[in-house]
Amino acid sequence: MTSFIRLVLAGLAVLHSIVSIPAASAGETIRVNGTGSGLVLMKPLLAAFQKEQGGISFSMEKSLGSSASIKATAKNALDLAVSGRPLKPAESAEGLAQQEYGKIPFAVVTNRKVEVNGLTLNELVAMYAGQTAKWPGGELMRVVLRPNEDIDSKLLRSLSPEMDRAVTVAQGRKDMLLGMTDNDAFECVKKTEGAVGMLALSLPLSEPNAVNVVRMNGVQPTVANLAAGKYPYAKSLHLITRRETTPAVASFMKFLGSRKGRAVAAKYGLLYTGAK
C-alpha cells in the first residue's frame, strides 16, 4: 500500500508541474484536420491554447475536408475532426463522438476589385441564375460554385426556393468556377476578377483585405449580428473525436468552451453554441 501511495503522489507531482493542463501529458501531439473554414479558425485557437497551457503540440496538415477527416478520426489517424456537418449514424457506430461547436456567418464575398458593398438576396439569385452578367463597374461576374453534394451548396440552396432553382441552373452552366474545397473557393474569389461566392466568414477573416465581405439585405455578416439574430445565414461546425479520447484532447476541448477560447473563436468568425 505504501508503494502504491508513493506512486500516486509521484504522479500527482508530475501533473502539478504542468500547471494549466492537469490531466494531459507533456509532449503529447494532437492531430487535427477537417473542413477548411474550420482549420483557419483552429490556427489562432491552437496558438492561444499553447500560450496558456504549453507542453502539448499539434499536427495540422492541409485540409482533408469533413468526410475524410471523420474517417481518419475513426481509424485513429486523427484525434480531432472539425466538421462542417454532423455525424451520420454509420459514423457514430464507429466509436465516434460529436459536439456542436458553433456557427459561422455564411457570407457573400467578392474579388477585392469589385466595388460593391451590399447585395440583396434577389440580386444574388439573379447572379447565380445567369440573369445578371456584369457588375456595375463593368466587370464580368464569375460565380464560384461548390460541388453539388457539398454542405456549402446545400446551405446556399436553403436560402430560398428561388436560390435553390438558381443554383441548379448555375450547376448546369459551363462558365462557372468550381472550388472543390473551402480553400479552393476562397482562392478562386481572391484571384479571379469579378468573382463572387458564399463562404464561411472565417476564411476572409483569416486574410484581412484579401476579398470584399458584402452586406446581405443591408446587414453585415458578423458574429455580433449573428448572435443578435440580425444576420440569419450561418454554417455550423462540429467537433468529432473518438469516444475514448486522450487527456490532451479533452483539455483542448475544454479550452474551446472556456471564456478565452470563445473570445478567440468569436474574433475569427465563430459564435460558440456549446455541446449539444
What residue spans define the domains of the chain?
18-103+235-272, 104-227
Model confidence band, residue 178 (pLDDT cutoffs 50, 70, 90): very high
pLDDT in tens, 230-251: 999 999 999 999 999 899 999 9
Pairing of strands 57-59, 211-216: unpaired
pLDDT recorded at residue 54:
76
Q: State yes or no: pLDDT of 17 exceeds 50.
A: no
Cα–Cα distance for residue pair 193/214, rounded to 1 Å: 16
Model confidence band, residue 3 (pLDDT cutoffs 50, 70, 90): very low
**Taking the CB of residue 260, how many other CB atoms lie within 10 A of it?**
14
Q: State yes or no: pLDDT of 16 exceeds 60.
A: no
* Percent of the chain scoring above 70 in pLDDT: 89
Q: State yes or no: pLDDT of 21 exceeds 70.
A: no
Model confidence band, residue 274 (pLDDT cutoffs 50, 70, 90): confident
Q: State yes or no: pLDDT of 260 exceeds 60.
A: yes
Please name the CATH architecture into which domain 104-227 falls. 3-Layer(aba) Sandwich (3.40)
Q: State yes or no: pLDDT of 148 exceeds 80.
A: yes
Pairing of strands 177-178, 80-83: unpaired
Q: State yes or no: pLDDT of 133 exceeds 70.
A: yes
| CA nearest to 108, candidates 116, 100, 99 | 116
CB 192 within 8 A of CB 99: no
**Mutual angle of helices 259-267 and 247-256, in 10-degree steps:** 70
Query: Given this chain, do its domains 18-103+235-272 and 104-227 carry the same CATH topology?
Result: yes
- Mean of the per-residue pLDDT values of the chain: 89
Q: State yes or no: pLDDT of 95 exceeds 80.
A: yes
18-103+235-272 topology per CATH? D-Maltodextrin-Binding Protein; domain 2 (3.40.190)
pTM here? 0.86
pLDDT recorded at residue 267:
97
Q: State yes or no: pLDDT of 22 exceeds 70.
A: no
pLDDT in tens, 216-234: 999 999 999 999 999 999 9
Residue type, 216: M
pLDDT recorded at residue 1:
39
Between 167 and 24, name the one with better pLDDT: 167
